[in-house]
Amino acid sequence: MEIRIGIANTGRELSFETNDSAADVKKAVAAALDSAATHVSFTDAKGASFIVPTSGLAYVEIGTEESRRIGFVA
């Protein structure tokens, strides 16, 4: 699934694919914000890690878990 994270005062967004479920991503972000943690971390499908400061979070967009269709749909 694709995750897009907007960071305050930055013109670009962080975008990556992850193997985590939408519920797991929501739970990690909510837990970091609720506990006033300084950062939240994510791991993409290739194993790279991203650490994002919670004070700079503008938005977190979580894509669908459906796979994309290939070919023509009638």
Give the tens place of pLDDT for each residue, 15-56. Answer: 999 999 989 999 999 999 999 999 999 999 999 999 999 998
Joined tokens for residue 11: 């013109």
Angle at 1 between CA 54 and CA 62, to 5 degrees: 40
Q: Please state, in angstroms and rounded to a whole number, the distance separating the CA atoms of residues 4 and 23.
A: 15
Q: How far apart are CA 25 and CA 19, in angstroms?
A: 10
- How far apart are the two ends of the chain, measured CA to CA in Å? 25
Whole-prediction pTM: 0.76
